[in-house]
Structure 1
């Protein structure tokens, strides 16, 4: 049975690197996220069978599943979210879940999960959001491509995404030892290969800045924008339609035009992109 689940959350969740997460752990994490949305601070119960179905988990043994759940939660505990005021003088650091109880010995094994109070805005009453098909995400094997997929979905209605080099490396958890050539060979080519089917006309361009050696300053992604009301099940039949009750305007988080324009004003490709962004937001 096709998984027609939509994962939807605040763009702030995309700013936290999922360091050392495996593909299976990412699938479990975002499957949980998909069902925690708009559940406020209630404890949400996931039966093993439901969570396996959502995450399209392949192994059948519950002992292995519990072990994967345990490892996933330990890595979730390492994710630190920061709520900071405008001047940077006040901040709160918090974790995502306040409860994660595994009951593998129950007649119907389950896991109970509750969101931490400070994390409620990440999944509730969203004014802007990232959304995508959980099925598509689950079936991307590369962790680099999985992360790039959800980052690009943040800009799905504009077709432009731009990341400073250090930010890109941090978000994708790229080893510091990788040279620019290794990033191109190991990371960018993998992303291109895995995401071509999900983003029409996907182009990845390293942006260079002036200086000795023409160093890379950022990575630019362009693709054909999706319509604001287009569903996310491009390759899944019988997709659930967006709710007619949705009243919030869909907002694609803007990427830093100001930072991009400071890199190299003589770059014709970049200038063309910036012009198109002006047209999209006009």
Structure 2
């Protein structure tokens, strides 16, 4: 079996049947660290068939929210524990043996093989044949980033987040009260007021960072004496089809998330402060206290994190250098900065960062044009030389087709129209 080593994939993409099949419900009840490890692995096995996927402990530590002091041995122990818990997820089926005619009862786990090397502490995993459909050749799928997921700490928020991401380009999803209880595995003893306090409040404060203008509406049954709760309606601004999938970058995602929280028209200031604390992992009350103390350095980054040493020309310590962003990524950042600028909320330091982003956007456009032109010229020269060689070959055993050369050079995956800036 081939071992595939490649950069860590940040985007999880899984078949929608995962959301509907009760066999996978135990995953939503996993302890937080085990759940994070499972979804990190799910991101790596996407479109990899039955190849063995290997992750180092450093890669796992970096992506799933471990504290810096956690040892690699502890990580390996958590990984092994995760696989042990996943053994409860089994597919049971019956198959007839063609030779004997006997009916065999078969049980298969989601991962047919997991290995934790006790020396290198590397983790390797292979998906079972019966579960390949979850991660490969997907027609109807749910997509989200591992960074977004590990920042959610409520099991209710995590499950609802994944369910709503299935409808991310629609911008609306309604659940009847009974279905909502079942989907989120809410105890039967919870009354609607308990759901408000223990489920919806948390979901609102955690998910508003991932859905622009996120709103939860209660729908009451008509024609019934009194107010009988019928369903919950979740709405948000629909995402573009290629949003947060192409040219993914965590600093861009964080920029969007903070803007989504602060600009949400359906939350009061108190809720927004709590949402920011949950997003950053702060003690509740930290963001409100910082705001009251005044002199925020950035709209997008709390002073507590802004104090870190600057690594680049940007004032924001979480932004990368100008040379590390692609043209489409500059466009993503500029789009948000422009909206906040027009509302008058950018700080002086943010405005200086905005000027740098504009410079980077213009420079990256020039570089992209130059590179595309050079590549087209190179392909044209290669095509001409090849035609000359072919003309000299009387037998014509070799032929190279350049009819499609250069067609993928245009940045068709750009998420914004450059003419917007």
Tell me the C-alpha RMSD between the 2 structures: 2.9
Correspondence list, 1:95-244, <5 A:
95-103=109-117, 105-106=118-119, 108-209=120-221, 211=224, 214-231=227-244, 234-235=253-254
Residue by residue over 1:129-151, the C-alpha shift from the partner in whole angstroms, topping out at 9 and shown as x without a partner, is 11112112112222221222221
Correspondence list, 1:25-64, <5 A:
25-58=34-67, 60-64=70-74
**Aligned in 2, Cα 1:26/1:201: closer, same or farther, shift over 3 Å?**
same
Give the drift of 1:80: 4.9
Contact 1:4–1:133, Cα closer than 8 Å, also in 2: no
Give the drift of 1:171: 2.8
TM-score, reference length from structure 2: 0.50
Instruction: For 1:239 and 1:7, locate their aligned partners in 2 and report how far apart those are by CA, in whole Å.
Output: 22
Contact 1:4–1:239, Cα closer than 8 Å, also in 2: no
Instruction: For 2:187 and 2:242, locate their aligned partners in 1 and report how far apart those are by CA, in whole Å.
Output: 37
Structure whose residues are more often helix by fraction: 2
TM-score, reference length from structure 1: 0.72
Contact 2:220–2:227, Cα closer than 8 Å, also in 1: yes
Give the drift of 1:60: 1.5
Instruction: For 2:242 and 2:205, locate their aligned partners in 1 and report how far apart those are by CA, in whole Å.
Output: 27
**Aligned in 2, Cα 1:75/1:42: closer, same or farther, shift over 3 Å?**
same
Higher relative contact order, chain-length normalized (CA < 8 Å, sep 6+): 1
Q: How many residue pairs end up in the alignment?
A: 232
Instruction: For 2:108 and 2:185, locate their aligned partners in 1 and report how far apart those are by CA, in whole Å.
Output: 21
Instruction: For 1:188 and 1:12, locate their aligned partners in 2 and report how far apart those are by CA, in whole Å.
Output: 25
Tell me, what secondary structure is at the counterpart of 1:234? Answer: helix
Tell me, what secondary structure is at the counterpart of 2:203? Answer: helix
Structure whose residues are more often strand by fraction: 1
Consecutive aligned runs of 4 or more in structure 1 exceeding 4 Å deviation: 80-83, 210-214, 236-242
Instruction: For 2:126 and 2:57, locate their aligned partners in 1 and report how far apart those are by CA, in whole Å.
Output: 16
Give the drift of 1:198: 1.5
Contact 2:28–2:155, Cα closer than 8 Å, also in 1: no
**Aligned in 2, Cα 1:222/1:239: closer, same or farther, shift over 3 Å?**
farther
Question: Which structure 2 residue ranges, 5 or more long, are not aligned?
Answer: 1-7, 94-105, 246-251, 256-318, 330-407, 410-421
The answer for the alignment partner of 1:69 in structure 2 is 79
Question: Which structure 1 residue ranges, 5 or more long, are not aligned?
Answer: 84-91, 246-282
Tell me, what secondary structure is at the counterpart of 2:125? Answer: strand
Instruction: For 1:226 and 1:201, locate their aligned partners in 2 and report how far apart those are by CA, in whole Å.
Output: 12
